[in-house]
Amino acid sequence: MKFIHTADWHLGKIVHGVHMTEDQRHVLWQLIDVIEEEKPDALVIAGDLYDRSVPPTEAVELLDEILLTINVKMKTPIVAISGNHDSAERLSFGSSWYRHSQLYIEGKLSEDLAPVNVGGVNFYCVPYAEPGIVRQVLGDDGIHSHQDAMREITSRIEQNLNPNEPNVFVGHAFVLGGQTSDSERVLSVGGSGCVQANLFDAFDYTALGHLHSPDALKHPKVHYSGSLLKYSFSEAKQNKSLSIVEMNSDGSFDLRYHPLKPLYDLRELEGYMDELLDPHFYQAQQVEDYLKVTLLDDGAVLDPMNRLRQIYPNILHLERKWDLSDNRRKQSFSSIRDEKKSELDLFETFYAEMTERDFDGSKRAVMTSVIEKVKKEEEVK
């Protein structure tokens, strides 16, 4: 039995002001190609289909298009759960009708933790839910943390689980040991958002969503698929792929990754202004990529964003190297507002902010004469 594991589509996502709909459509059609080629028995989507509870209509239309193609036209069963970015209620709408064609969307957690059987594998689908919701749905006042909630859910499932059949857990959670990136929303403070990987020991494979890298967790049986695309610069070096799982009837499996090729890569670029604007340099670049550019120049640079955008239209973020190199300077810059300083002192601070160089005696002499000249002109007026 073969299934494809994916998660964290985040349809409707806006990255630094750019709508990702076309980028998402581009890789989702790669998913469709892979399904055409691999002919899996099921597609598993482990939460965060949408980026927010009320997604834009373009995202709603894209999800309809993709699910329709895979499920209705290609007749591939789909098992999906809602993640913390989805609205459980909105994603649940219509799910009773979808079951006809083996589209199983578990939007809301229910007390009945029965599995969906597809191709001989039991899929236990557990949508994301806050501990307070799990406490209410399961009627267990002892549930306070995500760890409590998941422990109770998995132990209830284990009571009815048939260990002689292959069992897959589909969940959306921050499993301990995983590495986070900027675009995963902070769930709660102090680690209570985490759950331990050993809770899933009873399952042959655990298909997770939430962390955006397929390498977020090193575990033989518990796996993140990673997100569809790089959704923040902290993900710039991550692999984005589909997990293809071939599962044997004893629950053992073979896992391989199919890389996803984005319409435009999202990456970091570092260099001097002259270098970045040099045709020999940029003609070897994918100039339309989504870029975070770090300028290495230490002097004043005039209008860098507009000049760079002539060549690199999709720069999402621009920063200067020296902004980062000395945090102390920023502090001194903000603190001067509260003090009485001479014009010369103020300029010296400003010069230090803008350059890496010393404000030496000759520069000080020039600046002093300039300031005196200006002051005299003002007195004349």
List of residues contacting its own copies (CB under 8 A): 54, 57, 60-61, 63-64, 68, 71-72, 87, 89-90, 92-94, 96-98, 100-101, 103
Length of the chain: 381
Q: In what order do the strands lie in the sheet with 315-320?
A: 266-271, 290-295, 315-320
| Closer residue to its own copies, CB minimum distance, 57 or 310 | 57
| Closer residue to its own copies, CB minimum distance, 96 or 159 | 96
Rounded least distance, CB 84 to its own copies, Å: 16
Rounded least distance, CB 292 to its own copies, Å: 33
Task: Give CA separation, 366 vs 258, 344, 375, in Å.
Answer: 63, 11, 15
Which helix (H) or strand (E) segment holds residue 349: the answer is: helix 343-354
Spatial distance between the Cα atoms of 257 and 4, rounded to a whole number of angstroms: 10
Place of tokens 């267990």: 140
Rounded least distance, CB 82 to its own copies, Å: 12
7 within 8 A of 46, measured Cβ to Cβ: yes
| Closer residue to its own copies, CB minimum distance, 69 or 196 | 69
| Closer residue to its own copies, CB minimum distance, 54 or 366 | 54
Rounded least distance, CB 87 to its own copies, Å: 7
Rounded least distance, CB 197 to its own copies, Å: 33
Q: Could you count the other beta carbons within 10 Å of the beta carbon of residue 98?
A: 17
Place of tokens 């691999």: 38
Q: What is the DSSP letter of 190?
A: G
Rounded least distance, CB 103 to its own copies, Å: 7
| Closer residue to its own copies, CB minimum distance, 61 or 353 | 61
| Burial track 322-333 (b if 16+ CB lie within 10 A, e otherwise) | beeeeeeeeeee
The SS3 call for residue 42 is strand
| Closer residue to its own copies, CB minimum distance, 98 or 322 | 98
Spatial distance between the Cα atoms of 237 and 191, rounded to a whole number of angstroms: 25
